[in-house]
Structure 1
Amino acid sequence: MPDGPGVLEFTVRRPHSSRTGEGVRVHSTEYLADADCVMRAGLRTTSPARTVGDLMRRCRTREAAVVVADSALSRRTVRGVRREPLVHRAQLAAELSAPRTGATLARHWLKLADPACGSPAETVARLHMRDAGLHPESQPLLGSRSGRTLRPDFLFRRAGLAVEIEGYAYHGTRQAHDHDIRRYNDLADCPEVRRVLRFTARDVFRRPDAVVATIRAVLGQLAGG
Protein backbone atom coordinates (compact mmCIF):
# COMPACT_ATOMS: atom_id res chain seq x y z
CA MET A 1 0.00 0.00 0.00
CA PRO A 2 1.47 3.40 -0.92
CA ASP A 3 2.15 5.90 1.86
CA GLY A 4 3.72 8.92 0.27
CA PRO A 5 5.80 9.15 -2.91
CA GLY A 6 8.07 6.20 -3.53
CA VAL A 7 7.00 4.18 -0.46
CA LEU A 8 5.44 0.72 -0.57
CA GLU A 9 3.83 -0.83 2.51
CA PHE A 10 3.48 -4.55 3.15
CA THR A 11 1.68 -6.48 5.86
CA VAL A 12 3.02 -9.88 6.93
CA ARG A 13 2.21 -12.38 9.64
CA ARG A 14 4.36 -12.44 12.77
CA PRO A 15 7.02 -13.45 13.80
CA HIS A 16 8.37 -11.01 11.21
CA SER A 17 9.28 -7.70 12.84
CA SER A 18 8.18 -4.37 11.45
CA ARG A 19 11.03 -2.78 9.54
CA THR A 20 11.65 0.00 7.09
CA GLY A 21 14.05 0.13 4.18
CA GLU A 22 14.53 2.51 1.29
CA GLY A 23 11.13 2.80 -0.37
CA VAL A 24 9.69 -0.13 1.62
CA ARG A 25 7.82 -0.36 4.92
CA VAL A 26 6.86 -3.76 6.37
CA HIS A 27 4.26 -4.18 9.12
CA SER A 28 3.84 -7.42 11.03
CA THR A 29 0.58 -8.49 12.62
CA GLU A 30 -0.97 -11.52 14.22
CA TYR A 31 -4.30 -10.51 12.62
CA LEU A 32 -3.81 -11.77 9.08
CA ALA A 33 -5.97 -14.74 8.13
CA ASP A 34 -6.14 -16.56 4.82
CA ALA A 35 -9.59 -14.97 4.31
CA ASP A 36 -7.90 -11.53 4.31
CA CYS A 37 -5.84 -12.42 1.24
CA VAL A 38 -6.51 -12.77 -2.49
CA MET A 39 -4.40 -13.55 -5.54
CA ARG A 40 -3.94 -10.82 -8.13
CA ALA A 41 -1.70 -11.25 -11.18
CA GLY A 42 0.06 -14.11 -9.42
CA LEU A 43 0.77 -12.09 -6.29
CA ARG A 44 -0.71 -12.72 -2.85
CA THR A 45 -2.24 -9.46 -1.63
CA THR A 46 -4.65 -8.35 1.06
CA SER A 47 -8.28 -8.09 -0.04
CA PRO A 48 -9.73 -4.66 -0.92
CA ALA A 49 -11.64 -4.48 2.38
CA ARG A 50 -8.58 -5.43 4.41
CA THR A 51 -6.34 -3.02 2.47
CA VAL A 52 -8.71 -0.08 2.89
CA GLY A 53 -9.27 -0.97 6.54
CA ASP A 54 -5.51 -1.06 7.18
CA LEU A 55 -5.07 2.32 5.51
CA MET A 56 -7.85 3.89 7.58
CA ARG A 57 -6.56 2.41 10.83
CA ARG A 58 -3.10 3.81 10.14
CA CYS A 59 -4.22 7.28 8.99
CA ARG A 60 -3.14 10.03 11.34
CA THR A 61 -5.79 12.56 10.34
CA ARG A 62 -9.51 12.54 9.72
CA GLU A 63 -9.04 14.05 6.28
CA ALA A 64 -6.67 11.32 5.12
CA ALA A 65 -8.91 8.53 6.43
CA VAL A 66 -12.08 9.91 4.83
CA VAL A 67 -10.27 10.48 1.51
CA VAL A 68 -9.35 6.78 1.57
CA ALA A 69 -12.92 5.75 2.37
CA ASP A 70 -14.52 8.04 -0.22
CA SER A 71 -12.19 6.83 -2.94
CA ALA A 72 -12.75 3.16 -2.15
CA LEU A 73 -16.54 3.48 -1.87
CA SER A 74 -17.07 5.62 -4.98
CA ARG A 75 -17.82 4.78 -8.60
CA ARG A 76 -15.12 6.77 -10.37
CA THR A 77 -14.05 7.14 -13.97
CA VAL A 78 -10.45 5.94 -14.37
CA ARG A 79 -8.88 6.43 -17.83
CA GLY A 80 -12.32 6.78 -19.37
CA VAL A 81 -13.74 3.66 -17.71
CA ARG A 82 -16.40 3.89 -15.03
CA ARG A 83 -15.30 1.48 -12.30
CA GLU A 84 -17.35 -0.11 -9.56
CA PRO A 85 -16.52 0.63 -5.91
CA LEU A 86 -13.51 -1.22 -4.56
CA VAL A 87 -15.52 -2.11 -1.46
CA HIS A 88 -19.03 -1.58 -0.13
CA ARG A 89 -19.74 0.24 3.12
CA ALA A 90 -21.02 -2.91 4.87
CA GLN A 91 -17.82 -4.77 3.97
CA LEU A 92 -15.65 -1.95 5.26
CA ALA A 93 -17.71 -1.62 8.43
CA ALA A 94 -17.29 -5.34 9.06
CA GLU A 95 -13.53 -5.09 8.52
CA LEU A 96 -13.28 -2.18 10.97
CA SER A 97 -15.36 -3.95 13.62
CA ALA A 98 -12.36 -5.98 14.78
CA PRO A 99 -10.75 -4.58 17.97
CA ARG A 100 -7.44 -3.44 16.51
CA THR A 101 -5.26 -0.39 16.98
CA GLY A 102 -6.84 2.61 15.27
CA ALA A 103 -10.17 0.85 14.66
CA THR A 104 -12.26 3.06 16.96
CA LEU A 105 -11.29 6.26 15.15
CA ALA A 106 -11.56 4.55 11.77
CA ARG A 107 -15.15 3.48 12.52
CA HIS A 108 -16.01 7.06 13.44
CA TRP A 109 -14.37 8.40 10.30
CA LEU A 110 -16.24 5.89 8.13
CA LYS A 111 -19.50 7.55 9.19
CA LEU A 112 -18.25 10.73 7.47
CA ALA A 113 -17.62 9.03 4.13
CA ASP A 114 -19.61 10.12 1.07
CA PRO A 115 -19.16 7.96 -2.04
CA ALA A 116 -20.47 10.81 -4.21
CA CYS A 117 -17.31 12.86 -3.65
CA GLY A 118 -15.15 12.71 -6.76
CA SER A 119 -11.67 13.68 -5.55
CA PRO A 120 -9.56 14.16 -2.42
CA ALA A 121 -10.01 17.93 -2.70
CA GLU A 122 -13.80 17.51 -2.75
CA THR A 123 -13.64 15.31 0.32
CA VAL A 124 -11.52 17.80 2.25
CA ALA A 125 -13.76 20.69 1.18
CA ARG A 126 -16.84 18.79 2.31
CA LEU A 127 -15.33 18.04 5.71
CA HIS A 128 -14.42 21.70 6.28
CA MET A 129 -17.91 22.79 5.23
CA ARG A 130 -19.39 20.21 7.60
CA ASP A 131 -17.25 21.57 10.45
CA ALA A 132 -18.74 24.99 9.70
CA GLY A 133 -22.31 23.67 9.77
CA LEU A 134 -22.71 23.72 5.99
CA HIS A 135 -24.22 20.61 4.41
CA PRO A 136 -24.53 20.78 0.61
CA GLU A 137 -25.56 17.90 -1.65
CA SER A 138 -22.62 16.11 -3.28
CA GLN A 139 -22.75 15.77 -7.08
CA PRO A 140 -26.54 15.96 -7.55
CA LEU A 141 -27.84 15.33 -11.06
CA LEU A 142 -29.01 18.55 -12.74
CA GLY A 143 -30.28 19.40 -16.21
CA SER A 144 -29.53 22.62 -18.06
CA ARG A 145 -32.17 24.43 -20.11
CA SER A 146 -30.27 23.35 -23.22
CA GLY A 147 -30.73 19.70 -22.26
CA ARG A 148 -27.26 18.85 -20.92
CA THR A 149 -27.01 16.84 -17.70
CA LEU A 150 -24.38 17.83 -15.15
CA ARG A 151 -23.24 16.98 -11.65
CA PRO A 152 -21.80 19.96 -9.79
CA ASP A 153 -19.39 19.03 -7.02
CA PHE A 154 -21.69 20.59 -4.42
CA LEU A 155 -25.10 22.22 -4.46
CA PHE A 156 -26.82 24.29 -1.80
CA ARG A 157 -30.21 23.72 -3.36
CA ARG A 158 -32.29 26.17 -1.32
CA ALA A 159 -29.90 29.03 -2.03
CA GLY A 160 -29.20 27.94 -5.60
CA LEU A 161 -25.43 27.96 -5.05
CA ALA A 162 -23.24 25.47 -6.91
CA VAL A 163 -19.64 24.98 -5.74
CA GLU A 164 -16.96 23.50 -8.00
CA ILE A 165 -13.51 22.32 -6.89
CA GLU A 166 -11.10 22.50 -9.81
CA GLY A 167 -7.96 20.35 -9.98
CA TYR A 168 -5.13 21.49 -12.27
CA ALA A 169 -4.32 17.93 -13.34
CA TYR A 170 -7.73 17.65 -14.97
CA HIS A 171 -7.97 21.18 -16.37
CA GLY A 172 -4.35 21.70 -17.45
CA THR A 173 -4.78 21.33 -21.24
CA ARG A 174 -6.42 23.53 -23.86
CA GLN A 175 -9.04 20.87 -24.60
CA ALA A 176 -9.86 20.49 -20.92
CA HIS A 177 -10.02 24.28 -20.56
CA ASP A 178 -12.51 24.53 -23.45
CA HIS A 179 -14.59 21.76 -21.92
CA ASP A 180 -14.45 23.53 -18.57
CA ILE A 181 -15.77 26.80 -20.05
CA ARG A 182 -18.71 24.99 -21.67
CA ARG A 183 -19.44 23.15 -18.45
CA TYR A 184 -19.43 26.38 -16.45
CA ASN A 185 -21.89 28.02 -18.85
CA ASP A 186 -24.16 24.97 -18.86
CA LEU A 187 -24.09 24.78 -15.07
CA ALA A 188 -25.08 28.43 -14.79
CA ASP A 189 -27.96 27.60 -17.18
CA CYS A 190 -29.50 25.03 -14.81
CA PRO A 191 -32.80 26.20 -13.27
CA GLU A 192 -31.64 25.17 -9.79
CA VAL A 193 -28.49 27.30 -9.98
CA ARG A 194 -28.41 31.01 -9.24
CA ARG A 195 -24.67 31.34 -8.77
CA VAL A 196 -21.53 29.24 -9.23
CA LEU A 197 -18.42 29.44 -7.04
CA ARG A 198 -15.17 27.85 -8.18
CA PHE A 199 -12.14 27.04 -6.05
CA THR A 200 -8.86 25.32 -6.84
CA ALA A 201 -7.64 22.24 -5.01
CA ARG A 202 -4.80 24.45 -3.76
CA ASP A 203 -7.40 26.76 -2.18
CA VAL A 204 -8.99 23.81 -0.39
CA PHE A 205 -5.75 22.36 0.93
CA ARG A 206 -3.99 25.61 1.83
CA ARG A 207 -6.78 28.10 2.59
CA PRO A 208 -9.81 26.07 3.73
CA ASP A 209 -11.01 28.75 6.14
CA ALA A 210 -11.09 31.32 3.33
CA VAL A 211 -13.03 28.89 1.11
CA VAL A 212 -15.64 28.30 3.80
CA ALA A 213 -15.87 32.02 4.58
CA THR A 214 -16.50 32.82 0.90
CA ILE A 215 -19.22 30.18 0.63
CA ARG A 216 -20.89 31.40 3.81
CA ALA A 217 -20.80 35.01 2.60
CA VAL A 218 -22.39 34.14 -0.76
CA LEU A 219 -25.06 32.03 0.92
CA GLY A 220 -25.88 35.08 3.03
CA GLN A 221 -26.10 37.28 -0.07
CA LEU A 222 -28.38 34.84 -1.85
CA ALA A 223 -30.61 34.51 1.19
CA GLY A 224 -30.91 38.27 1.39
CA GLY A 225 -31.57 38.67 -2.31
Structure 2
Amino acid sequence: MQSVAEVLAQLGGCATYAQLAAVISRRALARAVQNGEVVRLTRGVYGHPQLSADRSTALAYAGVLSHTSAALAWRLPLRVSPRKPHVTLPTHRKARVGPPAVLHWTDLPATDLRRGLTSLERTVVDCARILPFGQALAVGDAALASGKLTSEELQAAAAGICGRGRANALAVAAAVDARSGSFLESILRSLLLAAGIYDFEPQVLVTTPGRLARVDLGHRRAQIALEAEGYAYHGDSVKFAADCRRYDDLVSAGWLVLRFTYRQVLHDPDWVVATVRAALAQRGVHKDWS
Protein backbone atom coordinates (compact mmCIF):
# COMPACT_ATOMS: atom_id res chain seq x y z
CA MET A 1 0.00 0.00 0.00
CA GLN A 2 1.27 3.46 -0.86
CA SER A 3 2.07 5.95 1.87
CA VAL A 4 0.07 9.17 2.18
CA ALA A 5 3.15 11.19 1.16
CA GLU A 6 3.56 9.09 -2.00
CA VAL A 7 -0.07 9.59 -2.92
CA LEU A 8 0.23 13.35 -2.38
CA ALA A 9 3.36 13.49 -4.54
CA GLN A 10 1.48 11.77 -7.38
CA LEU A 11 -1.36 14.29 -7.03
CA GLY A 12 0.96 17.33 -7.24
CA GLY A 13 1.52 17.86 -3.52
CA CYS A 14 -2.13 18.45 -2.56
CA ALA A 15 -5.30 16.39 -2.35
CA THR A 16 -8.81 16.45 -0.93
CA TYR A 17 -9.97 13.99 1.67
CA ALA A 18 -12.10 12.23 -0.94
CA GLN A 19 -9.08 11.72 -3.21
CA LEU A 20 -7.00 10.30 -0.37
CA ALA A 21 -9.80 8.14 1.04
CA ALA A 22 -10.04 6.37 -2.31
CA VAL A 23 -6.57 4.85 -1.86
CA ILE A 24 -5.71 4.94 1.88
CA SER A 25 -7.54 4.35 5.12
CA ARG A 26 -8.85 7.08 7.39
CA ARG A 27 -6.60 5.77 10.18
CA ALA A 28 -3.52 5.96 7.94
CA LEU A 29 -4.33 9.57 7.06
CA ALA A 30 -4.81 10.52 10.71
CA ARG A 31 -1.50 8.86 11.59
CA ALA A 32 0.31 10.68 8.77
CA VAL A 33 -1.05 14.04 9.95
CA GLN A 34 -0.03 13.28 13.55
CA ASN A 35 3.49 12.28 12.45
CA GLY A 36 3.92 15.41 10.32
CA GLU A 37 4.11 13.49 7.04
CA VAL A 38 1.07 15.40 5.81
CA VAL A 39 -0.27 18.88 6.64
CA ARG A 40 -3.96 19.71 6.88
CA LEU A 41 -4.20 22.90 4.80
CA THR A 42 -7.88 23.56 5.46
CA ARG A 43 -10.99 21.50 6.03
CA GLY A 44 -10.87 18.45 3.79
CA VAL A 45 -7.62 19.50 2.02
CA TYR A 46 -4.17 18.04 2.73
CA GLY A 47 -0.71 18.92 1.45
CA HIS A 48 2.92 17.85 1.54
CA PRO A 49 4.85 19.42 4.47
CA GLN A 50 7.63 20.63 2.16
CA LEU A 51 5.29 22.97 0.29
CA SER A 52 6.05 26.66 0.81
CA ALA A 53 3.62 28.65 2.96
CA ASP A 54 2.41 30.63 -0.07
CA ARG A 55 1.93 27.51 -2.19
CA SER A 56 0.08 25.79 0.65
CA THR A 57 -2.24 28.77 0.97
CA ALA A 58 -3.02 28.75 -2.77
CA LEU A 59 -3.75 25.02 -2.65
CA ALA A 60 -5.96 25.46 0.38
CA TYR A 61 -8.21 27.72 -1.72
CA ALA A 62 -7.85 25.59 -4.88
CA GLY A 63 -6.40 28.66 -6.58
CA VAL A 64 -3.06 29.86 -7.92
CA LEU A 65 -0.45 32.28 -6.65
CA SER A 66 -0.82 35.67 -8.33
CA HIS A 67 0.16 39.36 -8.21
CA THR A 68 3.20 40.01 -5.98
CA SER A 69 3.14 36.45 -4.60
CA ALA A 70 3.55 35.12 -8.13
CA ALA A 71 6.29 37.71 -8.69
CA LEU A 72 8.21 36.16 -5.79
CA ALA A 73 7.71 32.71 -7.26
CA TRP A 74 9.03 33.97 -10.63
CA ARG A 75 11.97 35.59 -8.72
CA LEU A 76 11.07 39.11 -9.78
CA PRO A 77 12.22 42.04 -7.60
CA LEU A 78 9.85 43.65 -5.10
CA ARG A 79 10.40 46.52 -2.73
CA VAL A 80 8.55 44.64 0.01
CA SER A 81 7.13 41.14 0.15
CA PRO A 82 3.35 40.85 0.52
CA ARG A 83 2.14 40.45 4.10
CA LYS A 84 -0.47 37.92 2.95
CA PRO A 85 -0.28 35.70 -0.13
CA HIS A 86 -2.20 36.83 -3.21
CA VAL A 87 -4.30 33.98 -4.56
CA THR A 88 -6.47 34.05 -7.68
CA LEU A 89 -9.44 31.71 -8.05
CA PRO A 90 -11.29 30.79 -11.24
CA THR A 91 -14.31 32.98 -11.90
CA HIS A 92 -17.48 31.86 -10.10
CA ARG A 93 -15.58 29.53 -7.72
CA LYS A 94 -16.62 30.12 -4.13
CA ALA A 95 -13.79 30.64 -1.65
CA ARG A 96 -13.19 27.96 0.94
CA VAL A 97 -12.36 28.82 4.51
CA GLY A 98 -8.58 28.95 4.58
CA PRO A 99 -5.43 30.70 5.80
CA PRO A 100 -5.09 34.52 5.61
CA ALA A 101 -4.83 35.59 1.95
CA VAL A 102 -5.78 38.32 -0.52
CA LEU A 103 -8.23 36.69 -2.90
CA HIS A 104 -8.91 37.59 -6.52
CA TRP A 105 -11.13 36.07 -9.19
CA THR A 106 -10.59 35.83 -12.95
CA ASP A 107 -10.72 33.38 -15.85
CA LEU A 108 -7.62 31.22 -15.41
CA PRO A 109 -6.13 29.21 -18.28
CA ALA A 110 -5.46 25.53 -17.70
CA THR A 111 -1.69 26.10 -17.83
CA ASP A 112 -1.87 28.47 -14.84
CA LEU A 113 -3.96 25.97 -12.86
CA ARG A 114 -1.49 23.17 -13.57
CA ARG A 115 1.51 25.36 -12.72
CA GLY A 116 -0.06 26.77 -9.56
CA LEU A 117 0.74 30.39 -10.40
CA THR A 118 -0.15 32.94 -13.03
CA SER A 119 1.86 33.22 -16.23
CA LEU A 120 4.79 35.61 -16.34
CA GLU A 121 2.93 38.19 -18.44
CA ARG A 122 -0.18 37.95 -16.27
CA THR A 123 1.97 38.33 -13.15
CA VAL A 124 3.53 41.55 -14.44
CA VAL A 125 0.14 42.94 -15.45
CA ASP A 126 -1.40 42.02 -12.09
CA CYS A 127 1.51 43.66 -10.24
CA ALA A 128 0.95 46.81 -12.31
CA ARG A 129 -2.65 46.82 -11.13
CA ILE A 130 -1.70 47.04 -7.45
CA LEU A 131 1.80 48.58 -7.36
CA PRO A 132 2.98 52.13 -8.12
CA PHE A 133 4.37 52.68 -11.62
CA GLY A 134 8.03 52.50 -10.59
CA GLN A 135 7.79 49.27 -8.63
CA ALA A 136 5.68 47.68 -11.36
CA LEU A 137 8.23 48.79 -13.97
CA ALA A 138 11.00 47.07 -11.99
CA VAL A 139 8.96 43.85 -12.05
CA GLY A 140 8.38 44.21 -15.80
CA ASP A 141 12.01 45.03 -16.59
CA ALA A 142 13.19 41.93 -14.72
CA ALA A 143 10.61 39.75 -16.47
CA LEU A 144 11.88 40.89 -19.87
CA ALA A 145 15.50 40.47 -18.78
CA SER A 146 14.76 36.82 -17.91
CA GLY A 147 14.28 36.11 -21.62
CA LYS A 148 10.98 34.34 -20.89
CA LEU A 149 8.78 37.25 -21.96
CA THR A 150 8.74 39.75 -24.83
CA SER A 151 7.47 43.30 -24.78
CA GLU A 152 4.89 42.35 -27.43
CA GLU A 153 3.50 39.58 -25.20
CA LEU A 154 3.31 41.96 -22.25
CA GLN A 155 1.60 44.68 -24.29
CA ALA A 156 -0.98 42.16 -25.51
CA ALA A 157 -1.64 40.99 -21.95
CA ALA A 158 -2.04 44.57 -20.71
CA ALA A 159 -4.39 45.45 -23.57
CA GLY A 160 -6.55 42.45 -22.72
CA ILE A 161 -7.48 43.54 -19.21
CA CYS A 162 -10.10 46.01 -18.04
CA GLY A 163 -11.01 47.74 -14.82
CA ARG A 164 -8.81 49.00 -12.00
CA GLY A 165 -5.13 49.38 -12.83
CA ARG A 166 -5.45 49.04 -16.61
CA ALA A 167 -3.90 52.45 -17.33
CA ASN A 168 -0.87 51.66 -15.16
CA ALA A 169 -0.50 48.22 -16.76
CA LEU A 170 -0.51 49.78 -20.24
CA ALA A 171 2.06 52.38 -19.16
CA VAL A 172 4.33 49.70 -17.72
CA ALA A 173 4.00 47.50 -20.83
CA ALA A 174 4.98 50.48 -23.02
CA ALA A 175 8.01 51.40 -20.90
CA VAL A 176 9.63 48.06 -19.97
CA ASP A 177 13.24 47.57 -21.02
CA ALA A 178 15.19 44.33 -20.75
CA ARG A 179 18.46 46.27 -20.48
CA SER A 180 17.69 47.55 -16.98
CA GLY A 181 20.39 46.41 -14.58
CA SER A 182 18.67 46.52 -11.20
CA PHE A 183 15.53 47.27 -9.21
CA LEU A 184 16.89 50.67 -8.18
CA GLU A 185 17.82 51.55 -11.76
CA SER A 186 14.27 50.76 -12.89
CA ILE A 187 12.83 52.95 -10.13
CA LEU A 188 15.15 55.81 -11.12
CA ARG A 189 14.12 55.48 -14.75
CA SER A 190 10.46 55.48 -13.75
CA LEU A 191 10.89 58.85 -12.02
CA LEU A 192 12.27 60.34 -15.22
CA LEU A 193 9.55 58.86 -17.40
CA ALA A 194 6.81 60.09 -15.06
CA ALA A 195 8.36 63.57 -15.26
CA GLY A 196 8.41 63.56 -19.07
CA ILE A 197 12.17 62.94 -19.36
CA TYR A 198 12.54 60.25 -22.00
CA ASP A 199 16.03 60.16 -23.53
CA PHE A 200 17.94 58.33 -20.78
CA GLU A 201 18.78 54.77 -21.87
CA PRO A 202 19.68 51.84 -19.58
CA GLN A 203 23.19 50.42 -19.56
CA VAL A 204 24.81 52.79 -22.06
CA LEU A 205 28.39 52.06 -23.12
CA VAL A 206 30.63 55.15 -23.19
CA THR A 207 34.02 55.31 -24.90
CA THR A 208 36.49 56.95 -22.52
CA PRO A 209 40.27 57.53 -22.72
CA GLY A 210 40.79 54.56 -20.40
CA ARG A 211 38.32 51.99 -21.63
CA LEU A 212 34.66 51.39 -22.34
CA ALA A 213 32.54 52.39 -19.36
CA ARG A 214 28.97 51.23 -18.77
CA VAL A 215 26.58 53.62 -17.02
CA ASP A 216 23.23 52.78 -15.47
CA LEU A 217 21.33 55.44 -17.40
CA GLY A 218 22.90 57.54 -20.12
CA HIS A 219 21.74 60.55 -22.14
CA ARG A 220 23.90 60.35 -25.25
CA ARG A 221 23.14 63.81 -26.65
CA ALA A 222 23.69 65.66 -23.35
CA GLN A 223 26.45 63.26 -22.22
CA ILE A 224 24.92 62.84 -18.77
CA ALA A 225 25.28 59.59 -16.82
CA LEU A 226 23.01 58.65 -13.93
CA GLU A 227 24.19 56.03 -11.48
CA ALA A 228 21.82 54.22 -9.11
CA GLU A 229 23.92 53.42 -6.07
CA GLY A 230 22.79 50.54 -3.85
CA TYR A 231 23.95 50.12 -0.24
CA ALA A 232 26.50 47.41 -0.94
CA TYR A 233 28.03 49.04 -3.98
CA HIS A 234 31.80 49.14 -3.42
CA GLY A 235 32.46 45.89 -1.58
CA ASP A 236 36.22 46.33 -1.09
CA SER A 237 39.12 48.72 -1.77
CA VAL A 238 39.84 47.21 -5.20
CA LYS A 239 36.28 47.76 -6.38
CA PHE A 240 36.26 51.24 -4.87
CA ALA A 241 39.45 52.16 -6.74
CA ALA A 242 38.05 50.77 -10.01
CA ASP A 243 34.87 52.80 -9.54
CA CYS A 244 36.84 55.99 -8.91
CA ARG A 245 38.88 55.42 -12.07
CA ARG A 246 35.72 54.73 -14.06
CA TYR A 247 34.19 57.98 -12.77
CA ASP A 248 37.33 59.94 -13.71
CA ASP A 249 37.40 58.36 -17.17
CA LEU A 250 33.79 59.43 -17.76
CA VAL A 251 34.46 62.99 -16.62
CA SER A 252 37.59 63.26 -18.73
CA ALA A 253 35.52 62.10 -21.72
CA GLY A 254 33.19 65.05 -21.16
CA TRP A 255 30.38 63.27 -19.33
CA LEU A 256 28.55 64.70 -16.33
CA VAL A 257 27.98 61.97 -13.76
CA LEU A 258 25.16 62.14 -11.19
CA ARG A 259 25.02 59.49 -8.47
CA PHE A 260 21.79 58.77 -6.60
CA THR A 261 21.42 56.53 -3.56
CA TYR A 262 18.60 54.15 -2.73
CA ARG A 263 17.26 56.51 -0.07
CA GLN A 264 17.31 59.50 -2.41
CA VAL A 265 15.54 57.65 -5.23
CA LEU A 266 12.89 56.09 -2.99
CA HIS A 267 12.35 58.91 -0.49
CA ASP A 268 13.28 62.16 -2.26
CA PRO A 269 12.13 61.67 -5.86
CA ASP A 270 11.26 65.35 -6.42
CA TRP A 271 14.84 66.38 -5.65
CA VAL A 272 16.19 63.63 -7.93
CA VAL A 273 14.07 64.82 -10.85
CA ALA A 274 14.91 68.48 -10.18
CA THR A 275 18.63 67.65 -10.13
CA VAL A 276 18.41 65.82 -13.46
CA ARG A 277 16.44 68.71 -14.98
CA ALA A 278 19.08 71.16 -13.78
CA ALA A 279 21.83 69.03 -15.32
CA LEU A 280 19.96 68.87 -18.63
CA ALA A 281 19.49 72.66 -18.60
CA GLN A 282 23.21 73.08 -17.91
CA ARG A 283 23.91 71.00 -21.01
CA GLY A 284 21.44 73.04 -23.06
CA VAL A 285 18.63 70.49 -23.07
CA HIS A 286 15.62 72.29 -21.63
CA LYS A 287 12.99 69.79 -22.79
CA ASP A 288 13.83 66.14 -23.12
CA TRP A 289 11.24 64.82 -25.58
CA SER A 290 12.18 61.73 -27.54
Shorter chain as denominator, the TM-score bin is 0.7 to 0.9
- Whether the 8 Å CA contact 2:151–2:176 is kept in 1: the answer is no
Partner of 2:207: 143
- Whether the 8 Å CA contact 2:120–2:149 is kept in 1: the answer is yes
In the alignment, structure 2 segments of 5+ residues that lack a partner are 1-68, 73-77, 286-290
Partner of 1:73: 144
- Say what the alpha-carbon RMSD is for the aligned residues: 2.9
Q: Any idea what the Cα deviations from partners look like across 1:113-172, whole Å, max 9, x if unmatched?
A: 2333222322232232234343323222222222x3222122222222212111113335
Partner of 2:240: 177
Secondary structure of 1:85's partner?
coil
CA displacement at 1:45 relative to structure 2: 3.1
TM-score relative to the length of structure 1: 0.74
Question: In structure 1, what residue type is equivalent to 2:216?
Answer: D
TM-score relative to the length of structure 2: 0.60
Q: For residues 153 and 165 of structure 1, what CA distance do their matches in structure 2 show?
A: 7
- Whether the 8 Å CA contact 2:127–2:136 is kept in 1: the answer is yes
Secondary structure of 2:204's partner?
coil
CA displacement at 1:21 relative to structure 2: 4.2
Q: Any idea what the Cα deviations from partners look like across 1:181-214, whole Å, max 9, x if unmatched?
A: 233233334x4x4321111121111111112222
Q: For residues 129 and 102 of structure 1, what CA distance do their matches in structure 2 show?
A: 24
CA displacement at 1:55 relative to structure 2: 1.9
> Looking at CA atoms only, which structure, 1 or 2, has the larger radius of gyration?
2
Q: For residues 20 and 194 of structure 1, what CA distance do their matches in structure 2 show?
A: 57
- Whether the 8 Å CA contact 2:84–2:102 is kept in 1: the answer is no
Q: For residues 180 and 226 of structure 2, what CA distance do their matches in structure 1 show?
A: 13
| Closer, same or farther: CA 200–9 of 1 in aligned 2, 3 Å | same
- Whether the 8 Å CA contact 2:250–2:256 is kept in 1: the answer is no
Q: For residues 200 and 35 of structure 1, what CA distance do their matches in structure 2 show?
A: 41
Q: Any idea what the Cα deviations from partners look like across 1:16-71, whole Å, max 9, x if unmatched?
A: 4288845xx252424111133564xxxx3332222222222333x22222222122
- Whether the 8 Å CA contact 2:86–2:104 is kept in 1: the answer is no
| Closer, same or farther: CA 92–219 of 1 in aligned 2, 3 Å | closer
| Closer, same or farther: CA 17–111 of 1 in aligned 2, 3 Å | same
Partner of 2:107: 31
Q: Does 1:12 align with 2:83?
A: no
Secondary structure of 1:139's partner?
strand
- Whether the 8 Å CA contact 1:97–1:103 is kept in 2: the answer is no
Identify the structure with the greater strand proportion.
1
Q: Does 1:188 align with 2:265?
A: no
Q: For residues 182 and 18 of structure 1, what CA distance do their matches in structure 2 show?
A: 60
Secondary structure of 1:219's partner?
helix
Q: For residues 200 and 20 of structure 1, what CA distance do their matches in structure 2 show?
A: 42
- Whether the 8 Å CA contact 1:36–1:50 is kept in 2: the answer is no
Q: For residues 45 and 114 of structure 1, what CA distance do their matches in structure 2 show?
A: 24
Question: In structure 1, what residue type is equivalent to 2:140?
Answer: A
In the alignment, structure 1 segments of 5+ residues that lack a partner are 75-83
- Whether the 8 Å CA contact 1:69–1:113 is kept in 2: the answer is yes
- Whether the 8 Å CA contact 1:19–1:26 is kept in 2: the answer is no
How many residue pairs align between the two structures?
205
Partner of 1:211: 272
